[in-house]
């Protein structure tokens, strides 16, 4: 069976907000709702697991109830201190409530509100022949590597560089199998699920992402998202 984990643990500090970023309105709808709605459109997904900072769980429940009619396929859980902790909490929810032989988890940044059902389905399809999958888009800028502040260490070839996106998907049992072999230092490096598979030469496949599937991180991203949605509404 297939489960989705919508990671919504941000507190909006980089945007200067007084509330978590996922509650910020984009054209009268919270960021979180846009992403959750897209995953609910994919019938193959058994449950959409929404993580939330502990102090905002009640608010998250209230917002979801206000904007979404079909809440039976939604579970709200407490997020962890780190992204990896939140993914582990999502896995624990699945393992504690379902007993499928080889479940799949799709992780997605709540702040990527323009994720398409096509991209979600492709992330699922990629696991037919692999243990983990991530969408990517080619880097368009030259990337500088700096190992010491203010010092240029290297200029990698742009042709070999890509930006990772979500939804990333993986087989839960394989994730846990690899996780059990990691040292404490390796666990500290886990800032996304693909890193875990990479540390043990796991079976990861990369597939074409979507340039419109950007993450709302800064205020300029928020303004772009609002303009984009206005344009889409005007077209319809």
| Averaged pLDDT of the chain | 94
Give the pLDDT of residue 189.
85
Give the pLDDT of residue 70.
85
The Cα 142–Cα 34 span in angstroms is 32
Instruction: Give start and end residues of each alpha helix (H) in the chain.
Output: 31-40, 57-67, 83-97, 117-125, 172-179, 184-188, 193-199, 219-235
- Please, which residues bridge with residue 134 across strands? 206
More reliable by pLDDT, 18 or 105:
105
Give the pLDDT of residue 13.
66
Residue 118 has pLDDT above 80, yes or no: yes
Q: Which of 21, 31, 9, 11 is nearest to 86 (CA)?
A: 9
Mean pLDDT of 148-159: 96
**Collapsed DSSP state (helix, strand, coil) of residue 6:** strand
> Which pTM was predicted?
0.93
Mean pLDDT of 82-105: 94
Q: Show the domains of the chain with their CATH numbers.
A: 2-138+164-235 (3.90.550.10)
Give the pLDDT of residue 233.
78
Mean pLDDT of 41-69: 96
Mean pLDDT of 99-107: 94
Residue 12 has pLDDT above 70, yes or no: no
Share of the chain above pLDDT 70, in %: 97
Residue 236 has pLDDT above 90, yes or no: no
Residue 232 has pLDDT above 90, yes or no: no
- Please, which residues bridge with residue 109 across strands? 7
Q: Which two tokens stand for residue 98?
A: 């379902």
Give the pLDDT of residue 20.
86
pLDDT digit string, tens, across residues 165-214:
999 999 999 999 999 999 999 998 888 899 999 999 999 999 999 999 99
Query: Residues with Cβ < 8 Å from 191, sequence gap 6 or more?
Result: 82, 83, 84
Contact (Cβ atoms closer than 8 angstroms) between residue 172 and residue 105: yes
């Amino acid at each position: 069976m297939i489960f989705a984990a919508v990671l919504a643990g941000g507190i909006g500090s980089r945007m200067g907000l007084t509330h978590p970023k996922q509650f910020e309105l984009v054209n009268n709808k919270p960021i979180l709702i846009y992403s959750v709605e897209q995953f609910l459109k994919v019938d193959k997904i058994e449950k959409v697991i929404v993580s939330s900072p502990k102090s905002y769980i009640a608010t998250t429940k209230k917002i979801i109830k206000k904007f979404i009619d079909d809440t039976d396929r939604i579970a709200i859980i407490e997020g962890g201190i780190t992204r990896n902790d939140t993914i582990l909490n999502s896995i624990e929810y699945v393992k504690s409530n379902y007993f499928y032989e080889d479940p799949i988890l799709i992780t997605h940044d709540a702040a990527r509100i323009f994720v398409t059902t096509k991209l979600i389905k492709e992330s699922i399809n990629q696991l037919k022949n692999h243990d983990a999958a991530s969408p990517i888009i080619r880097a368009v800028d030259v990337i500088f590597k700096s190992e010491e502040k203010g010092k240029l260490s290297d200029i990698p070839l742009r042709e070999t560089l890509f930006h990772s996106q979500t939804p990333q998907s993986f087989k839960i049992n394989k994730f846990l199998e690899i996780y059990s072999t990691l040292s404490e230092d390796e666990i500290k490096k886990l800032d996304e699920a693909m890193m875990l598979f990479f540390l043990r030469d796991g079976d990861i496949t990369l597939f074409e992402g979507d340039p419109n599937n950007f993450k709302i991180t800064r205020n300029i991203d928020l303004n772009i998202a609002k303009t984009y949605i206005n344009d889409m509404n005007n077209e319809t």
